[in-house]
Structure 1
């Protein structure tokens, strides 16, 4: 922790600079190269102007080596007394600290140790840091500090820099992919009267002007389907979503969902699209389709396995869920087999959520390589289309990698009568204690009654996808500013 004396010392330096007529927080500095670009220039390149935060200083009697950096890279600089002049050299020695910002102009050369270096011909002071940076150059080890003060983590930890830069590249790759496929980006409401589109508990808020209770959306699904009713055919959204669920290394309460819909498609069309998208993301973000997960190399360009929900649970638990249409009987069977679901309210769950819990506890952790999980029970999919050959299953898939659900997709239910029946079941479950069941949504049902074409849709979390592709243990590391408890 920085002492009061250290802060006062930096404040004194700031005032000394001002008394010498130096603008401590100038308006701008014109650069002609980013730091990464400058580090690639040939020796002898002159009039190079760069700027950055000072991350290290090695001072000698007549010269100073310093490193400036930003999130994309760093560059070594050389400041020499006989080249810069006595006044500027001494001002640097007396008043400039690690953490301050500096703009420089000079020429490139390579040191005897092989490091590309800018020989400073002139410099401008660009901002005083009143607090010193953490001492550990290799990164912050205090996890709480990393999340509470992410800006320090971004300055000091290379792994954090790489992962969160990859996030931005990944979002750009996703947008480019869908635009190239003629999907149109749209925006739908965050504040909603109902919590439709997923099985999750919403955050609630009060609208003062309308004097009404609203939910923060748990998914953009039903509004995007309204757009299909309105005439859109291929849409997607990069949507902030909110789910008032438990904290864990795999869950965020505020996350970024990418969701999309295509009229006249079915879920098999979407399976092809999602495989193509994942491969494109890997190529554009990491320049490879092979990544390391838990110490094992996984080549996503190889064929992905397809397995049904019923087969998977039967294989891992010995329970055939088709033999237990009643949730109470299914619960009794899991207890008979000594399967601990580690859920305090398991007995109050509807059949769909109970089966989902059983799958998550006994099956999902064992799915390592990219796997399409298909034929989900209809109880678990209130908005998905029933399979034509088996009405108790849906035309749905999830992509699982390393025990994590990456993508959820299905052929959409477009029959308003059947949709009303399913939502009535969900509303009954919610009224009887299943807090994650869906609410009745009359406005959405009205939209459906105006007619919907065949539709296939999908959704995935940016953070969950990044977590898997960067082999990360905690999803908080995959968002810039994770929510933490207020001090």
Structure 2
């Protein structure tokens, strides 16, 4: 008995032989330039009463084939759904029917025929003409088992979309979500802009960048890790409300919620603070959920989540006290903070201060408990180099992170507009880089110059679009909401 691989090779060989026969007979499908179709499958099904016994033309891929003798049934899949095609020899003609019998699952065809219902009440098309538009010389996964290997699904998304039609629905919903984010902001007077993806400084976030080289200038350049600093330059220039949605790139780890290339949106508004950014954050999320799903109450992987504003607020030190039992209001020195961190088993790195320890405590003990939407405020200055200090406690900043389902969904500040303070924050970040922190912020002298010109009080917000899409589409991984996620190349 031949093995599976041998069978596959035989099928592939047979398909190529069929293509050769078509070409030799002057029926090469690849020279056909177009096919004019009049309807999609869903339109025919939804309007059967009007279309019964009327001529239509459709185009799509053969997904199943059955019958024998003088009758063949195809299931044709177009961009919307499937519809059954009935091909009879006495309607098609004996010679043409002989070729049609050789068509394979995966072939792309155009069909002209009349709409009718079979004896089993299935809306179908009685073919009068079938044109082979593209010959598939590969093998689609077996229809009952589909494409189940997740790694292969991500690598061959084109096959995934063919054999798992529900995947297409996820990406249609993704596009709807993105459109609704833009609609929310556009209706509130925000201007969508474009800023550079390539830059000489990787700024706006604490992250490790991808490095490339510009040959003409003979300089290294960076793919952007954030678009924050350019957008704030536009506020300096006189725009009051701007946003940009686009790809960011971070040379970091990969897991179910991280991909090196991801979609983010950042927006900035003059003359407001981070409190207004909270209202915008919960407003965007609730609006997009309502417009895209029809509800602000979702179920994500078995967990009920209510996105309805207003969301809960909690200071970072308050959250640490609740979830770890450590009260940082009573810990005032770097030495005390480091000692308590060691007691709790946290990793201590060179140059860490009380503020760094607070951030480590929050990530270790708190994030995993933040399921319902919540704003965490009071971030330490050390981990917030672009945020204004809290006037009541200069160790903290006017910043928040929004969490849903334990994930950080949004990050926002009352933007630092003091150029003296900003320059010193960059200097402090450079010291962290010298101590080995590759994610610490680079010095951006032009940005300092920009806010020396004058940045008005400004609120800024960044939202992780992919994570929001994961939640609203109920998908387990970021790879399920990216059409082509980053994959390690297969060894040849």
Specify the TM-score bucket, using the shorter chain as the normaliser.
over 0.9
For residues 71 and 138 of structure 1, do their structure 2 counterparts lie closer, same or farther at Cα, with a shift above 3 Å needed?
Answer: farther
Match of 1:237 in 2: 244
For residues 303-452 of structure 1, the aligned pairs below 5 Å read: 303-324=310-331, 326-327=333-334, 329-337=336-344, 339=345, 341=346, 346-347=349-350, 352=355, 354-452=357-455
Residue 12 of structure 2 contacts residue 137 of structure 2 at CA under 8 Å; is this kept in 1?
yes
Counterpart of 2:234 in structure 1 is: 227
Matches of 1:352 and 1:7 in 2, distance apart? 62
Find the aligned partners of 1:300 and 1:259 in 2 and give their Cα distance: 20
Unaligned runs of 5+ in 1: none
Cross-structure match for 1:47: 55
User: 2:29 is matched with which residue?
Assistant: 24
The aligned residue for residue 40 of structure 2 is: 34
After TM superposition, give the deviation of residue 191 of structure 1 in Å.
1.3
Answer whether contact 1:348 1:433 (CA < 8 A) is retained.
no
Tell me the CA shift for residue 266 of structure 1.
Answer: 1.6
Query: In the alignment, what sits opposite 2:170?
Result: 163
Displacement of 1:311: 0.9
| Shift, 1:159, TM fit | 4.1
Count of paired positions? 482
CA offset at residue 70 of structure 1? 4.0
Q: TM-score, normalised by structure 2?
A: 0.92
SS of 2:460 mapped into structure 1: strand
SS at match of 1:145: helix
Counterpart residue number, 2:154: 147
Counterpart of 1:82 (choices 72, 90, 96) is 90
Displacement of 1:325: 5.0
- Say if 2:415 and 2:458, in contact at 8 Å, map to a contact too: yes
Is residue 410–residue 462 contact of structure 2 (8 Å, CA) maintained in 1? yes
Distance 1:268 1:42 in 2: 54
Aligned residue for 2:208, secondary structure, equals: coil
Structure 2 CA distance for aligned equivalents of residues 88 and 43 of structure 1: 30
* Secondary structure in structure 2 of the residue aligned to 1:391: strand
Partner of 1:121: 128
304 and 485 in structure 1: CA distance in 2 versus 1, 3 angstrom threshold: same
Instruction: Identify which of 246, 250, 253 aligns with 1:246.
Output: 253
Alignment partners' CA distance in 2, 1:168 and 1:304: 26
CA contact (8 A) 1:111 1:117 kept: yes
1:39 is paired with a residue whose SS is: helix
- Closer, same or farther in 2 for the Cα pair 1:90/1:309, shift >3 Å? same
Secondary structure (helix, strand or coil) at the match of 1:195 reads: coil
Secondary structure of residue in 2 paired with 1:133: coil
Q: CA deviation at 1:432?
A: 0.9
The Cα RMSD (Å) is 2.2
Matched, 1:471 2:477: no
- In structure 2, the partner of 1:189 is 196
